[in-house]
């Protein structure tokens, strides 16, 4: 019997008016795998992530997380998924700890677990001492840290992160990367999008490259470099080649004129 896939994206399409955001996207993620979603701005990564976590409906196609159909059981899926959106908007009138307390309660964590996890995360991500301040006064990086904690607080079975390392200082970025590795060791799969190709190269088991709402390539970074016919090239060169944006010299010339 085939093992249960952590995530299955099957022929997903989505349009906004005349604009086709996703045009039949399919791929799978194994248990404990770290998958990087790469693609230029507007390639459909964020839309796909919203569909994966059940906050947006696809026009057609299906997404299953740990065997649960997202469209049929969105509430059930939300209980087992952790989601960190790109530029998260938080409740600015709450203090950091009140926000985390709210998220923990929404996931029905008991008091003891809640206290332990929130205290540990605040300490690990350097928010200790700031937790009683209103989020309104937080820097973008601090808000990003809170959103990451909120996504992890209920120990999700699948983690979906949209540009999670945005605005983070190097120390916190390192902690988050190590955390993703630790989750992988514990069998928790992570799907995350990034524009920083070095990060994808360093921590992803596999990457999916999207362009114009389609998957243009997928595989391990090593496989992609080989497929691109230049085994010695960087992931950046492969990415630019696959997304048809490799010729950047004219643009740089024009900008520096």
Site residues for other proteins per CB under 8 A: 50, 53-57, 74-76, 78-79, 81, 83, 85, 88-95, 97-98, 101-111, 114-115, 118-119, 122, 130-134, 136-137, 150
Rounded CA-CA distance 130/142 in Å is 9
The minimum distance between CB 51 and other proteins, in angstroms, equals 10
From the list 220, 168, 162, the residue with the least C-alpha distance to 190 is 162
Which CB, 91 or 222, lies closer to other proteins? 91
Question: Could you tell me which of 45, 56, 87, 42 has the C-alpha nearest to residue 208?
Answer: 45
Contact 207, 216 (CB under 8 A): no
Which residue, 135 or 168, has its beta carbon nearer to other proteins? 135
Alpha carbon distance 51, 2 (integer Å): 25
Which CB atom, from 94 or from 124, has the smaller least distance to other proteins?
94
Cβ of residue 133: shortest distance to other proteins, in angstroms? 5
- Report, in Å, the least distance between residue 108 CB and other proteins: 5
Could you tell me the smallest distance in angstroms from the CB atom of residue 109 to other proteins? 7
Q: Smaller CB distance to other proteins: residue 93 or 178? A: 93
Residue for token pair 């970074």: 221
Q: Which pair of structure tokens corresponds to residue 12?
A: 């997903």
Q: What is the dihedral angle through the alpha carbons of 171, 35, 48, 108, rounded to the nearest 10 degrees?
A: -70
Cβ at position 186, least distance to other proteins in Å? 21
Closer to other proteins by CB, 190 or 243: give it. 190
What are φ and ψ of residue 62, in 5° steps?
-145, 145
């Amino acid at each position: 019997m085939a093992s249960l896939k952590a995530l299955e994206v099957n022929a997903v399409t989505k349009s906004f008016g005349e604009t086709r955001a996703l045009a039949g996207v399919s791929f799978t993620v194994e248990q404990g795998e770290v998958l990087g979603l790469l693609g230029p701005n507007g390639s459909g990564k964020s839309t796909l992530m919203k569909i994966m976590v059940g906050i947006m409906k696809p026009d057609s196609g299906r997404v299953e997380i740990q065997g649960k159909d997202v469209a049929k059981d969105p509430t059930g899926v939300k209980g087992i998924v952790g989601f960190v959106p790109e530029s998260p908007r938080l409740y600015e009138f709450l203090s950091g700890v009140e926000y985390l307390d709210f998220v923990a309660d929404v996931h029905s964590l008991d008091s003891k677990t809640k206290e332990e996890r929130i205290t540990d995360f605040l300490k690990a991500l350097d928010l200790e001492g700031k937790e009683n301040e209103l989020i309104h006064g937080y820097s973008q990086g601090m808000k990003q840290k809170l959103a990451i904690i909120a996504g992890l607080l209920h120990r999700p079975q699948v983690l979906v992160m949209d540009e999670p390392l945005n605005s983070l200082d190097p120390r916190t970025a390192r902690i988050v990367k190590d955390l993703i590795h630790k989750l992988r060791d514990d069998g928790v799969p992570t799907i995350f999008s990034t524009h920083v190709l070095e990060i994808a190269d360093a921590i992803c088991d596999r990457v999916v490259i999207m362009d114009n709402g389609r998957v243009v390539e997928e595989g391990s970074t090593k496989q992609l470099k080989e497929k691109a016919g230049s085994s010695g090239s960087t992931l950046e060169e492969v990415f630019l080649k696959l997304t048809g944006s490799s010729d950047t010299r004219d643009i740089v010339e024009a900008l520096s004129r």
